[in-house]
Amino acid sequence: MQDINNTQYFKVQADTEIGVKDVLKTVYEAMVEKGYNPVNQIVGYIMSGDPTYITSHKNARSLIMKVERDELVEEILKDYIKNNSWK
């Protein structure tokens, strides 16, 4: 029997923070594995906010929903600009 006079402690481990690039990479790979066109599906999600554009394979849907859609656009645009020598 537990001692009801003492406070019990319960510690929840925080989710490991994952970066936007890693989320996009994981989602992209999951979409390819499932046979979807990842560019079309990710654009559909960004434009509509409807998570059903993203597969649940590899927890991709849950991952992408943890990131704000404007953050996804920002990360994609920053990478595009960097890789096209605009900067």
Summarised one tens digit per residue, pLDDT across range 9-57 is 777 665 556 899 999 999 999 999 999 999 999 999 999 999 999 999 9
pLDDT of 18 reads: 82
> pLDDT tens, 49-80?
999 999 999 999 999 999 999 999 999 999 99
Residue type for position 22 = D
In angstroms, the CA 17 to CA 84 distance is 29
Whole-number pLDDT of residue 16 = 59
Q: What is the distance in angstroms between the CA of the first residue and the CA of the last residue of the chain?
A: 66
Q: What is the pTM of this model?
A: 0.77
Q: Which two tokens stand for residue 70?
A: 């404007």
